[in-house]
Amino acid sequence: MSQNGDSKPRKLSIICSKGSLDMAYPPLILANAARMSGIEADLFFTFWGLDIITKSKMDKLNVATVGNPNMHPWFHIPSIIGILPGMSAAASWMMRREIDKLDFPPVGEFLEMVMDAGTGVYGCKMSMDMMKLTEKDLVDGAKVLGAMEFLEMAEGAQVLFI
């Protein structure tokens, strides 16, 4: 039941379109918070967001340093420095260290945790076809859906695009 007394359960559907390390945690944190609050949650991974649920990539995600306006305040370096070789690796190492300090699990473990809590995890069929991925490439338990199927599933949900 929703908080305002309706008999329909609350639902959250998150479209995950980016696959960098800094973009993997927001949907996982929100899905986890939703499930802990009794809210249904579904994650739909499309385009580069598929990296977050691709077994061979999920625990090797990096921070994008080029074109990321937030790199300057976070690392206290000018944005142009992001083009230098090794900056993405350094930024990723620093972010993983900060994530560890907050006691957040690695992406693969966090994904398993939210799935165990009942979050639905779906890969976009069209994006998977474009990237030559199959359901076997995805984390165990993930399913493949077309965009129209996801939109039907998301009916009545609060939808976020990340």
Three-state secondary structure readout of 62-111:
CCCCCCCCCHHHHHCCCHHHHHCCCHHHHHHHHHHHHHHHCCCCCHHHHH
Q: Which domain CATH number covers 143?
A: 3.40.1260.10
Mean pLDDT of all residues in 145-154: 97
- Looking at the structure, do residues 23 and 35 belong to the same domain, yes or no? yes
Determine the pLDDT at residue 8: 81
Determine the pLDDT at residue 103: 86
- Looking at the structure, do residues 46 and 27 belong to the same domain, yes or no? yes
Q: Assign 119 to helix, strand or coil.
A: coil
Which tens digit of pLDDT belongs to each residue from 41-87? 999 999 999 999 999 999 999 887 655 555 545 555 665 555 556 66
Dig out the tokens for 73 from the structure.
């305040």
Name the pairing type of β-strands 158-161 and 120-124: unpaired
Provide, rounded to the nearest whole percent, the portion of the chain with pLDDT above 70: 81
pTM reported for the whole predicted model: 0.84
In a domain, residue 50? The reply is: yes
In a domain, residue 1? The reply is: no
Mean pLDDT of all residues in 96-119: 92
The total of structural domains in the chain comes to: 2
Determine the pLDDT at residue 101: 86
Q: Assign 123 to helix, strand or coil.
A: strand
